[in-house]
Structure formats: structure tokens, C-alpha cells
A = this chain, B = another copy of it.
Amino acid sequence: MARPRATTDRPLDPPVGIGFLLSQLGAHAAARFAERLKPLGLKPAHSGILRAVRLADGPSQQALGERLGMFPSRLVGIIDEMEGLGLVERRSSPTDRRSHAVHLTAAGEAALEAIQRVSRAYQEEICAGLGEAERAQLASLLGRIAAEQGLRPGVHPALGQPGAEGG
């Protein structure tokens, strides 16, 4: 293109740090995961909630929201969606009729298994360039950073956003 003089000619200093790489790869990974989920009719957030529901077994929406760092009002819409898909059902608690416990249906468990299959293919795609030892090394380094940064295993920090979850 055009103008003769540049402000600087250094290409990219610093040469792209770990933080940027993480952010860049994280966005990429999340996008790829969402893509693989789409044929199943699922969104990334569904995946995270399915896992959390199975883990807690029948948590109230409030408990779920607290665990996942989501506002209760946000959960309402997603649980509505998932109930519409037949993945979960709300059961009002016999002891406190205000509270609705969220339970997996058979379809929900099936979805969870389908997600796991998709997930394996997705991992394979992401790690395509690395050997077994390197993958283990990478997983270990990432896991240490995650722990150091106070991220809880399996809880995505951006479950509030659109393309947040990455299986």
C-alpha cells in the first residue's frame, strides 16, 4: 500500500506473549467447540449446565447459579430452553415449594454422552500437532496456571457470555 514512512518498523514487540496466546487459543477453542455442538442442537452453555446438574444432582436454580457464577435471571432462560429440549426438568421441592430442583432426564444424560464423544474429537482436533507426551506436559502446565489463578475445575468463567463454554 501507500505511505513512505512508518512510525516504527519493529514487527510485534513483545513477540506475542503467553497471555495473548491463551486468549487467542481460548477464543478459537470455544468457537470450535460451539461449532461441534451445533449439530446436536446444543449451545455451549447447555453443556456446562448439564455437567453441573449431574455433578450436584438436583440442585436448586439458586445453587446452580451460585456455583456457576450466573445471575438467577439468566438461568431461567437457559433452563427454559433446556426443559424445552427435554434435557432437564424442574421438580418443585416438597419441603419448600418456592424452590425448583433441576434434574437430568434420560435425554439429558444421553446428551451428556454425546457431548463427551464430540468433546474427544474436539480435543483431538485442537491438539493435532502435539504428541502424547507434549499433550500431558501442556495439560499439566495449563492446569497449574488454572489452579494458581483460582479457576475451579470445570467451571467456565464466562458462562455469562455467548460462546463461553469449551468442552
Contact = CB atoms under 8 A, between A and B. Distances in A.
Copies of this chain present: 2
Task: Find the residue from A20, A56, A148 having the highest chain B CB count within 10 A.
Answer: A20
B33 A19 contact: yes
Interface in A40-57: 51, 54-57
Contact of A27 (B123, B147, B156): B156
Given A7-B109, A148-B129, A149-B28, A22 B142 contact: yes
Nearest to A104: B7
Given A3-B101, A57-B7, A28 B151 contact: yes
Contacts of A7: 54, 57, 104, 109
22 contacts: A3-B58, A5-B57, A13-B116, A14-B119, A18-B127, A19-B32, A21-B139, A22-B22, A23-B30, A23-B164, A24-B166, A25-B149, A27-B157, A27-B161, A28-B157, A31-B158, A130-B141, A130-B145, A137-B137, A138-B142, A161-B161, A161-B163
